[in-house]
Structure 1
Amino acid sequence: MPIAVIADIIGSRRLPDRGAAQRDLDDAIARVETDRPLAVSRLRATVGDELQGTYRTLEDALCSLLLLRLALPAGLECRFGVGIGAISDVPYDGATLADGPGWWAARDAVNALTAMQQRAAPGARTWIVAAPGEDAGMRSPVEMANAYALSRDQLVTAMSDRARRLTYGRCLGRTQSDLAREEGVTQSAVSQAMSTAGSAALVEGYVALSGGRA
């Protein structure tokens, strides 16, 4: 079942250099797709601060979006609305427009996430909505996926820049020794930083989603 993702930059109007932020975001997306190519159509800017992309499965989308969150530089955050449902391209004026229930569901997910951030879950960054008629037998899986997304987002939101880099590396199967050399610290410092940040749980969740592949 196709997965549509709509992303937007949080607080884009308050960024000191909007153009630099967009370039940093594009670089992070390219890095993730180089390190672990999972998107059918990688996230690309559409209008304003919004991006759109597609994935083959919900697992692929969640894996890729976790890596992207970890790869984003300090001060740059996105929210991700994930829609489950049919998607299509509508010809218009020599180009195509993204359309279909999957995109409408992704938009609903962004709206739900925005409201959630203003109330009970300010650290939330990812939400999943199944389009009507596309969720037969999927209510529990979607609800469980959202519960997982809320928990992991809370961990990532609270992480330091170093903890995010280390967690990214471990998700891709890099050793603590390699990461320590790259960071210029001891392996015990890497272990302590990851333990404090709850990285092990994120890495295990990522491995489970990716079918045991780090």
Structure 2
Amino acid sequence: MSQIQPSPVVLIGDIVASRQSKDRRALHRAVERALADTNERVEHVEPLEITVGDEFQGVYPHLGAALDAALRTRVALRPAAESRYGLGRGATTTLDKARGIKDGPAWWAAREAIVDVEKLATRAALEHVHTAYRLAEGESDDPGTALAVDAALLCQDHMVGSLSERSGRLLKGLLDGMTQRDLATAEGITPSAVSQRVRADGLAVIVRCHDLLKDLR
């Protein structure tokens, strides 16, 4: 019996407090580089592209790929900018291909998710929360999975948001498959210093969480 293909997952992202940037041109270039890096590394249906203002969006074949893209892009953008993400699973429709106008339940769910993230982040205790996942109405995916994913994202986001600039670079390197020895050379520090940061900042925990989440269909 053939398995039913899961609905695609839409990712909507935007830059937090982008208007406060002192060099918006440099910020725009940083976003372009981050999106290009993610598009090269993560399987997609539609690549991440800048749309209007400081927003970008893409479509992924399954939940794990969308989660992979969200974390990679957030880490690549820090510390130049902080970013937030709404993921929505459901049907998608293109209303105007030439203008890139999209519609459908997955887009509505992703928009709901990013609005919820923005609201949560106004609370001091949840200021590092930057990613949420929502199912479109009527979607057949297990609602329990959505709740479990959001719980994992709360913890992952808090850990990522608490990282220093150097630890953020180390995390990106680990996500890209670099060894701790490679990272030590790149940072100009000893392998022992890298190992200490990996343990103290929970980088291995973030990577393991990411590896588990990106396998979700």
Task: Give the TM-score normalised by structure 1.
Answer: 0.92
The residue aligned with 2:3 is: none
Distance 1:195 1:40, change over 3 A: same
- The percent of aligned pairs where both chains have the same amino acid is 38
Distance 1:158 1:90 in 2: 40
Distance 1:208 1:162 in 2: 24
Task: Give the TM-score normalised by structure 2.
Answer: 0.90
Of the three residues 12, 23, 28, the one matched with 1:17 is: 23
Show structure 2 runs of 5+ residues with no match: 1-6
The residue aligned with 2:54 is: 49
Of the three residues 50, 66, 75, the one matched with 2:71 is: 66
Partner-residue secondary structure (3-state), 1:194: helix
Of the three residues 207, 210, 215, the one matched with 1:206 is: 210
- For the aligned residue pairs, the C-alpha RMSD in angstroms reads 1.7
Does the aligned pair in 2 maintain the 1:110–1:127 contact within 8 Å? yes
Distance 2:149 2:110 in 1: 15
Partner-residue secondary structure (3-state), 1:38: coil
Does the aligned pair in 2 maintain the 1:24–1:72 contact within 8 Å? yes
Q: Structure 1: which amino acid aligns with 2:132?
A: W
Does the aligned pair in 1 maintain the 2:180–2:195 contact within 8 Å? yes
Does the aligned pair in 2 maintain the 1:81–1:113 contact within 8 Å? yes
- The more displaced of 23-32 and 78-87 is 23-32
Of the three residues 113, 124, 129, the one matched with 1:109 is: 113
Partner-residue secondary structure (3-state), 1:44: strand
Tell me the alpha carbon deviations over residues 91-142 of structure 1, each in whole angstroms, 9 at most, x when there is no partner. Answer: 37x53411101001111111111111112511101011111001x3521000
Of the three residues 105, 115, 131, the one matched with 1:126 is: 131
Show structure 1 runs of 5+ residues with no match: none
Measured after TM superposition, the shift of residue 173 of structure 1 is 2.5
After TM superposition, what 4+ stretches of structure 1 lie above 3 angstroms from structure 2?
none
The residue aligned with 1:83 is: 88
Of the three residues 180, 186, 198, the one matched with 1:176 is: 180
Partner-residue secondary structure (3-state), 1:95: coil
Measured after TM superposition, the shift of residue 55 of structure 1 is 0.7
Tell me the alpha carbon deviations over residues 28-72 of structure 1, each in whole angstroms, 9 at most, x when there is no partner. Answer: 1112233x2322222211111111111111111111211112211
Does the aligned pair in 2 maintain the 1:105–1:131 contact within 8 Å? yes
Q: How many pairs are equivalent?
A: 209
Measured after TM superposition, the shift of residue 177 of structure 1 is 0.7
